[in-house]
A and B are shown apart, each in its own frame.
Chain A
Amino acid sequence: MSVLSMPADPSANIRKRRRKLLYTAAGFDIPFLLILLAILVIGLISLYSAGYVYSFYWNDGDSFYFIKKQLLFAAIGIAAMFAASFVDYHHWHRFAWLVWVGSIILLGVVLLLPAESGIHRWIRIPGIGQFQPSEVAKFALVLLFAHLISLNYKRIQTFTGGFLPLLLILGVTCGLVFLEPHLSGTMLLCLLGLVLMFVGGCRVRYLLGLVALGVLVVFVAIFVLGYEQERIDVWLNPLEVYNRDYTGRSQAWQTVQSLYTIGSGGLLGQGLGNSRQKHLFLPEPQNDFIFAVVCEEIGFIGALFILLLFALLIWRGFVIAMNASDKFGSIFALGLTAQIGIQVILNIAVVTNSMPNTGISLPFFSYGGTSLVMLLAQMGIVLSISRQANLKKN
């Protein structure tokens, strides 16, 4: 358990020194930061291009409304990120339970607040903005799991000592989000929890059992109880449903318009700024469906490039997790990175109709200030973890 044990082989030491020089010039992981900033810049450009029409129509003719706010929050977020990167992440140990309990309270509060269009999702703080408690819950879950797994790593393979507490925490969190109702948030939390439990060392058979149970529940809900029939119908036969009733802003409308948008892009795209689908055809072009506009404007090649950047970011995050100086940092970095990865995959799966439509935003692209600030701050924590690992290595 010696933390400070250095590699015995001097040549290996020199090799590591070289890598440190390349990767850790500023103390933290430079590639992670550069990839992240690249994604952020591209995301902001995409938001402006995809969102200005909606911005114009919904904000009294101000095409810049979305991008102005987003730029402001990006600046705040970057500041928050650097700040977080300098804070020793171990401080978070103390706040793990507190943050989680706080997030549960917020999830409870949002349920008590008046519903908007039948759902309880947002808490608005006058003068500051609005945020989703489920966003907080994601972070709280990652933090608490990292905290518990690192403390209980020896007993993690047991059912009652390892698996069950995590399952209960996950269950409570997901349950509240599910009640909002917020299907995509629930799904994201479940997947995130599963990944953390898996990497954290829970027995695979428990997890498989859990997955099997989940699949069974979903199966029964859809095929026996008949929930979400329309969503499934749209997923399997989007054009058929669309042609039956293309009037309202139905789910089929969203899905079909997204396919129109992506398909219009072809290999090279219509050119940046030239999307026509964003002209009030595609709903939420600045938000959940921003990637469809990206596909239309810069084509398959451009979209692939962006996905590649995300893949690099995730990969780098995982490397940081694996090289973390301790299990807490490792799980923490993994959770924060995996959160990005899962969200990207789900978002792109939705816009391409690879899975049933459920509202989920694309990290660093979709419009949303508080979410962006939180994401960047969390990336700051990942950087902090990489910084400490590098310091330890030094």
Chain B
Amino acid sequence: MAKKPKTDQVVTNKPSRRMNLRNYIVLCIMLLLALAIVVHMAIIQLVQGDDWLARARSQQMSDNVVAAKRGTIYDANMEPLAISADVWRLIMSPKNIEDVNLEKLPGIDSQEELRGYIADQLSALLEIDREKLFNQTGKTNSQYEVVKTRVEYRQKEEFITWVTENGLAGVFRIIPDYKRYYPQGVLLSNVLGFTGTDNNGLEGLEAAYDSVLSGVPGRIVTAQNGWGDEMPTQMEYSKVVDAEDGNSLVLSIDQTVQMYAEKYLEEAVRETGTTNRGTILIQNVKTGGILAMATKGDYDPNNPFVIADQAVADAIAQLPEEEQAAARTTALQQQWKNKAVSETYEPGSVFKVFTASAALEEGVGTLQTSYNCPGYYKVGGWTIRCHKAGGHGTLDMPGAISGSCNPYFMQIGLKMGAHNFFKYFTAFGFTEKTGIDMTGETSNAGLYHSEKTLSNTVASLATAAFGQTNKVTPIQMINAISAIANGGELLTPYVVQQILDENGNVVENTERTVRRQVISKETAAKVSDMMKAAVNGGGCKGAYVAGYRVAGKTGTSEKRDIEGNEVVASFAGFAPADDPQVAILILLDQPQSAIRFGGTIAAPVAQKVLSEVLPYLGVEPKYTDAELVKLSTTTPAVTDKPLTAAQAAITNAGLSARVVGKGETVLKQVPEAGQSVPRGGLVVLYTDENSIERTVTVPNFMNMSVAAANMAATNAGLNIKVSGVGLDSGQTIANKQSIAPGTAVPPGTTVTVSFLYKDGADGG
């Protein structure tokens, strides 16, 4: 001890017993308190531990859903029709606004000003509503406010730049997403359908194959700290469940075929003023796969909620405000509906081919079976008229098909009886859904006469026999037509040929599915021949395509279940008749044109489509001698050639040459090389500069016959391309020309003139 303390007497003062006793008491009290707290701690850690841990984890983990890339929809040639493109979702965390370092933002001194700044700048940058954004910035409890969805690459980049420049990286983040694009726009819209905001299929194939296309969303669970910042990954706090991208569809539909189908259908719908839309179906008769399926009017699946028909949109805008929403919904539902599978119609005379098939198959009649048509037929107290005043007289079966005679089919229908008729009505698939792999195939249950009704009411059987009163769907019709074309096998139609996984491997391939043999090959061949005859010189010649034997039947059915005198004009057929490849159905619902027979307005659509589609599909044309004469040829290239050589080349190509100018060399030719002109057509050769400027005036071809139009064109120094008629060009009048009358054009220019058969009547 260094030094003795002064207060010596205290040193001798040992702790008393009382002090030590109280020491123990204090120690015990403290230990008891500590023990109580330890018990509480045990409750928190051991009893409630899992609950607290779960709560803690939920704030420590940020759990983000990673969208799965939706599969692509390809056409038969792997051309994409529906694709998913990368887009981004922009997320704001208003909670973090209070942590922003305001020093980096000159002129902003408070959180309030920062909110205003963000709202001003971002609403302008992203083209969004400023007020909404400003309100979002005020939700300081929230870490997840969606600023904008489906932001595309460029805007995303601009956004990132802005965020970085303003030091707001803590407040915003981006989440990858996908957006559905339909690169072909309206093409195939009613089949493809579209997706909703969360990329779920809402209509069409997008809906029918939603589970196939959508894939499985992934998750990224990342650890975050209390400021919402991501934790370093080496801490193994993040867990990634990869998204499984959706499978892709390869359709049986061929984009090119579809394009032709839509082009000519749209033209027909527009020109005939069809009010209840038109539809077209092209089917591979051998596999059942659909090659084209279109409805007009349709819509743009990129903007499905826009009413595509401007007239309809305008009409809705005129309505009182309270009715607009409902009207809009109805209009949208209507434009999304795939008419080819979702609506029914009375097939009219087209149906006669099935009555004929039934009669032949059951032996009720032969090709030679004849009936007389006096212009009407009396049945069950009703007098039902034929379309031909005065009647067809006595007809055999091919004549009845070609002439589309109603009394003939009433009589043969009554002869076969309700049982046989209904047997084939059922056998051809008209009483069941076809089972096509799409949503929205409607059932025609209740829309056709039962066997009982048919046997009880002879008038019903008689009218049904020529295609009235029973309603069917367009898909049922084309499928039944295909059965005749392919030798009697009813197939299951389909639009999805293959399902591919994300690596392009085939997961599923649609096989040809035969539902039943409806009629024998022989019967099918007989009916096919009759249909071929009907198109090639018969009553359905509007569908004639040179070089291809088109078989078909037209129909014009009255819509007796609605107000007014409305009809459905249709054509159903297949080609080539001797080796059928494709079946085609065209349907114009409520055309408003002056002539609205199926043979006049529907058959030409088939003609136009088939004349493009058959060569495209590689079906070799087989021309008759009569057809060869009228064939188009291709102009040879003669520009810059000596005049004499040019003239020889043109003559060799089966064309005639007309020289303009005095030069020795061809400076310019009209039509240019590679243009299609009728055999024997004119090629004008210019040999000096001065002559090139010369023009001729296009005459008015309207209402001319083919012969008259040819003459007028030749006189004017023009080439004419005749469209819409076959070999038998009598009884046709021109109703359209590709270049307006009075237009000044270079000599040799080709003018396409469309002709209509005046006598397209097909008796129902």
Could you tell me the distance in whole angstroms from the C-beta of B61 to the nearest C-beta in chain A? Answer: 9
Q: Compute how far the CA of A348 lies from the CA of B225 in the bound complex, rounded to whole angstroms.
A: 25
Stretch at the interface among B15-23, B444-452, B726-734: B15-23
Could you tell me the distance in whole angstroms from the C-beta of A143 to the nearest C-beta in chain B? Answer: 14
In the complex, residue of chain B having the shortest beta-carbon distance to the beta carbon of A349: B37
What residues on A are CB-neighbors of B7 within 8 Å? Answer: 90, 93, 151
User: Quick check: B34 and A263 within 8 Å, CB to CB?
Assistant: no
What residues on A are CB-neighbors of B41 within 8 Å? Answer: 262, 295, 300, 303, 348, 352
9 further A-B pairs in the complex, CB-CB below 8 A; given A2-B12, A93-B6: A90-B5, A198-B25, A259-B52, A276-B60, A279-B226, A279-B231, A280-B225, A327-B13, A349-B33
B222-233 vs A, CB cutoff 8 Å, 1 = contact: the mask equals 010111000100
Among candidates A267, A330, A338, residue contacting B19 with C-beta atoms closer than 8 Å: A330
What residues on B are CB-neighbors of A327 within 8 Å? Answer: 10, 13-16, 19
Q: Compute how far the CA of A341 lies from the CA of B60 in the bound complex, rounded to whole angstroms.
A: 34
Q: Compute how far the CA of A91 lies from the CA of B1 in the bound complex, rounded to whole angstroms.
A: 11
Stretch at the interface among A109-117, A310-318, A366-374: A310-318
What residues on B are CB-neighbors of A90 within 8 Å? Answer: 5, 7, 10-11
Q: Compute how far the CA of A300 lies from the CA of B42 in the bound complex, rounded to whole angstroms.
A: 7
What residues on A are CB-neighbors of B3 within 8 Å? Answer: 88, 91
Q: Compute how far the CA of A211 lies from the CA of B582 in the bound complex, rounded to whole angstroms.
A: 103
User: Quick check: B56 and A276 within 8 Å, CB to CB?
Assistant: yes
Could you tell me the distance in whole angstroms from the C-beta of A126 to the nearest C-beta in chain B? Answer: 25
User: Quick check: A279 and B60 within 8 Å, CB to CB?
Assistant: yes
What residues on B are CB-neighbors of A383 within 8 Å? Answer: none
User: Quick check: B10 and A325 within 8 Å, CB to CB?
Assistant: no
User: Quick check: A201 and B34 within 8 Å, CB to CB?
Assistant: no
Could you tell me the distance in whole angstroms from the C-beta of B41 to the nearest C-beta in chain A? Answer: 5
Q: Which residues in window 238-286 of A have CB below 8 A to B? A: 246-247, 259-267, 276-277, 279-282
What residues on B are CB-neighbors of A325 within 8 Å? Answer: 11, 14
Q: Which residues in window 688-716 of B have CB below 8 A to A? A: none
Q: Compute how far the CA of A277 lies from the CA of B226 in the bound complex, rounded to whole angstroms.
A: 8
Could you tell me the distance in whole angstroms from the C-beta of B569 to the nearest C-beta in chain A? Answer: 68
In the complex, residue of chain A having the shortest beta-carbon distance to the beta carbon of B48: A263
Q: Is A195 an interface residue (CB 8 A)?
A: yes
**Chain A residues with a Cβ closer than 8 Å to the other chain, count:** 68
Q: Compute how far the CA of A314 lies from the CA of B23 in the bound complex, rounded to whole angstroms.
A: 11
B24-43 vs A, CB cutoff 8 Å, 1 = contact: the mask equals 11110011011011101110
In the complex, residue of chain B having the shortest beta-carbon distance to the beta carbon of A201: B18
Q: Compute how far the CA of A352 lies from the CA of B33 in the bound complex, rounded to whole angstroms.
A: 13
Q: Compute how far the CA of A259 lies from the CA of B53 in the bound complex, rounded to whole angstroms.
A: 9
A161-194 vs B, CB cutoff 8 Å, 1 = contact: the mask equals 0000000000000000000000000000000000
Q: A3-B12, A280-B227 are in contact. Are A345 and B19 (CB under 8 A)?
A: no
User: Quick check: A201 and B19 within 8 Å, CB to CB?
Assistant: yes
In the complex, residue of chain B having the shortest beta-carbon distance to the beta carbon of A202: B22
Q: Is B45 an interface residue (CB 8 A)?
A: yes
Q: Is B505 an interface residue (CB 8 A)?
A: no
User: Quick check: A277 and B56 within 8 Å, CB to CB?
Assistant: yes
User: Quick check: B19 and A91 within 8 Å, CB to CB?
Assistant: no
Q: Is A324 an interface residue (CB 8 A)?
A: yes
Q: A3-B12, A325-B14 are in contact. Are A307 and B38 (CB under 8 A)?
A: yes
User: Quick check: B5 and A91 within 8 Å, CB to CB?
Assistant: yes
Q: A280-B227, A341-B30 are in contact. Are A262 and B44 (CB under 8 A)?
A: yes
Q: Is A48 an interface residue (CB 8 A)?
A: no
Q: Is A66 an interface residue (CB 8 A)?
A: no
What residues on A are CB-neighbors of B53 within 8 Å? Answer: 260, 263-264, 266
Q: Compute how far the CA of A282 lies from the CA of B7 in the bound complex, rounded to whole angstroms.
A: 51
Q: Is B626 an interface residue (CB 8 A)?
A: no
Q: Is A304 an interface residue (CB 8 A)?
A: yes
Q: Is B59 an interface residue (CB 8 A)?
A: yes
B residues engaging A (CB < 8 A)? 1-3, 5-7, 10-16, 18-20, 22-27, 30-31, 33-34, 36-38, 40-42, 44-46, 48-53, 55-56, 59-60, 95, 140-141, 223, 225-227, 231, 237
User: Quick check: B13 and A328 within 8 Å, CB to CB?
Assistant: yes
User: Quick check: A266 and B49 within 8 Å, CB to CB?
Assistant: yes
Could you tell me the distance in whole angstroms from the C-beta of A378 to the nearest C-beta in chain B? Answer: 18
Could you tell me the distance in whole angstroms from the C-beta of A299 to the nearest C-beta in chain B? Answer: 7
In the complex, residue of chain A having the shortest beta-carbon distance to the beta carbon of B140: A247
User: Quick check: A295 and B45 within 8 Å, CB to CB?
Assistant: yes
What residues on B are CB-neighbors of A315 within 8 Å? Answer: 27
User: Quick check: B13 and A300 within 8 Å, CB to CB?
Assistant: no
User: Quick check: A281 and B60 within 8 Å, CB to CB?
Assistant: yes
Q: Compute how far the CA of A93 lies from the CA of B486 in the bound complex, rounded to whole angstroms.
A: 120
A-B contact pairs, 17 of them (CB 8 A): A1-B14, A3-B11, A53-B225, A87-B2, A88-B3, A150-B10, A151-B10, A260-B55, A263-B44, A263-B51, A267-B49, A279-B226, A281-B59, A281-B225, A322-B20, A322-B23, A334-B26
In the complex, residue of chain B having the shortest beta-carbon distance to the beta carbon of A281: B226
Q: Which residues in window 184-226 of A have CB below 8 A to B? A: 195, 198-201
Q: Is A326 an interface residue (CB 8 A)?
A: yes
User: Quick check: A262 and B45 within 8 Å, CB to CB?
Assistant: yes
User: Quick check: B23 and A199 within 8 Å, CB to CB?
Assistant: yes
User: Quick check: A263 and B37 within 8 Å, CB to CB?
Assistant: no
Q: A262-B45, A266-B46, A281-B59 are in contact. Are A198 and B26 (CB under 8 A)?
A: yes
Q: A246-B141, A326-B15, A330-B19 are in contact. Are A264 and B30 (CB under 8 A)?
A: no
Q: Compute how far the CA of A304 lies from the CA of B37 in the bound complex, rounded to whole angstroms.
A: 11
Among candidates A88, A300, A307, A330, residue contacting B15 with C-beta atoms closer than 8 Å: A330
Q: Compute how far the CA of A53 lies from the CA of B60 in the bound complex, rounded to whole angstroms.
A: 15
User: Quick check: B34 and A311 within 8 Å, CB to CB?
Assistant: yes
What residues on A are CB-neighbors of B30 within 8 Å? Answer: 314, 338, 341-342, 345
Among candidates A199, A264, A281, residue contacting B26 with C-beta atoms closer than 8 Å: A199
Could you tell me the distance in whole angstroms from the C-beta of A269 to the nearest C-beta in chain B? Answer: 9
Q: Is A321 an interface residue (CB 8 A)?
A: yes
Q: Compute how far the CA of A184 lies from the CA of B56 in the bound complex, rounded to whole angstroms.
A: 28
Among candidates B13, B37, B42, B46, residue contacting A348 with C-beta atoms closer than 8 Å: B37
Q: A198-B26, A199-B26 are in contact. Are A153 and B56 (CB under 8 A)?
A: no
User: Quick check: B46 and A328 within 8 Å, CB to CB?
Assistant: no
What residues on A are CB-neighbors of B231 within 8 Å? Answer: 279
Q: Compute how far the CA of A344 lies from the CA of B35 in the bound complex, rounded to whole angstroms.
A: 12
Q: Which residues in window 35-54 of A have CB below 8 A to B? A: 53
Could you tell me the distance in whole angstroms from the C-beta of B223 to the nearest C-beta in chain A? Answer: 7
What residues on A are CB-neighbors of B49 within 8 Å? Answer: 263-267
Most buried by B among A260, A277, A318: A260
User: Quick check: A321 and B15 within 8 Å, CB to CB?
Assistant: yes
Which 5 residue pairs are nearest across A and B when measured between Cβ atoms?
A263-B52, A280-B226, A90-B5, A279-B225, A330-B15
Could you tell me the distance in whole angstroms from the C-beta of B658 to the nearest C-beta in chain A? Answer: 89
User: Quick check: A321 and B23 within 8 Å, CB to CB?
Assistant: yes
In the complex, residue of chain A having the shortest beta-carbon distance to the beta carbon of B15: A330
Q: Compute how far the CA of A391 lies from the CA of B2 in the bound complex, rounded to whole angstroms.
A: 13
What residues on A are CB-neighbors of B25 within 8 Å? Answer: 198
Q: Is A158 an interface residue (CB 8 A)?
A: no
Could you tell me the distance in whole angstroms from the C-beta of A356 to the nearest C-beta in chain B? Answer: 14
Q: Compute how far the CA of A277 lies from the CA of B52 in the bound complex, rounded to whole angstroms.
A: 12
What residues on A are CB-neighbors of B12 within 8 Å? Answer: 1-3, 326
Could you tell me the distance in whole angstroms from the C-beta of B582 to the nearest C-beta in chain A? Answer: 66
Q: Compute how far the CA of A281 lies from the CA of B61 in the bound complex, rounded to whole angstroms.
A: 12
What residues on B are CB-neighbors of A334 within 8 Å? Answer: 23, 26
Most buried by A among B41, B49, B231: B41
What residues on A are CB-neighbors of B19 within 8 Å? Answer: 199-201, 322, 327, 330-331
User: Quick check: A326 and B27 within 8 Å, CB to CB?
Assistant: no
